[in-house]
Amino acid sequence: MLTLRTVAVSALILSFGATGAFAQDLPFPFNLFSGPQATQAPAANAGNVAIAVQPTRTLVDDPTGAPKGVVTVDSKTKYLYLSLGDGKALRYGVGVGREGFSWSGHVHIARRAEWPDWTPPEVMLKRRPDLPHYMAGGIGNPLGARALYLFNGQGDTGFRIHGTNEPDTIGQAVSSGCIRMLNVDVEDLYTRVKVGTQVNVI
């Protein structure tokens, strides 16, 4: 028998969507639209909405031939590989620089940050005057959950491997040169690399 309580609970679920443990039990792709990210943003950003997504990390035969511990970004296929040795690698889907902003080279990780803040460079602000001059770390920040700062022999390249608040851009060439990953993927990669890790962008 339907009761007033049953009707109220049903209406609440229909209005706001499934959350919590129930949402985690939903099959892919329905769980894309409910539940939190794997790691929560700082409390100051708790009012923002995060979208739970499936990680792209896959253990594959290593196509790069790179030594163990080296990161390779294949801009053409839009995959990032972390070489594990013994012919194996972890592969992640990434987003890369759009036409006119793609690049290649040998760099290294010089800094790591969790829930990084973001200060757009002047050249970007000239192209996009609508952007804020500073944004604190959090779910709404375009750098996402983690950032790996890429340097070369001349210093900071200005490019990062970072998370994103636009998960639908993974697999696309839409950035200003940074390598973007799903938050859940960059959180995983972050635990596997360190300052000094070599990164080859091809």
Residue 178 annotated as catalytic: yes
Tell me the sheet residues that pair with 147: 113, 162
28-67 pLDDT tens trace: 333 333 333 344 444 444 434 445 678 999 999 999 999 9
**Would you list the DSSP string of 44-86?**
GGTTS---------EEEE-SS-PPTT-EEEETTTTEEEEEEET
Residues of the chain with pLDDT under 50: 1-50
Options 106, 108, 133, 162, the catalytic residue:
162
In contact, 106 and 198? CB cutoff 8 Å = yes
Q: What is the pTM of this model?
A: 0.72
Nearest one of 155, 161, 154 to 94, comparing CA atoms: 161
Nearest to 116 by CA among 82, 73, 93, 149: 149
| d(C-alpha 99, C-alpha 119), whole Å | 23
Instruction: Report CA-CA distances (Å) from 168 to 81, 149, 183, 187.
Output: 20, 23, 12, 17
Choose, from 106, 108, 133, 178, the residue flagged as catalytic. Answer: 178
SS percent in the chain: helix, strand, coil, step 5: 20, 30, 50
Q: What is the DSSP letter of 38?
A: S
Rounded to the nearest angstrom, the gap between the alpha carbon of residue 90 and the centroid of all alpha carbons in its chain is 15
Domains belonging to the chain, first-starting first, are 4-35 (no CATH), 58-201 (2.40.440.10)
What is the per-residue pLDDT for 24? 39
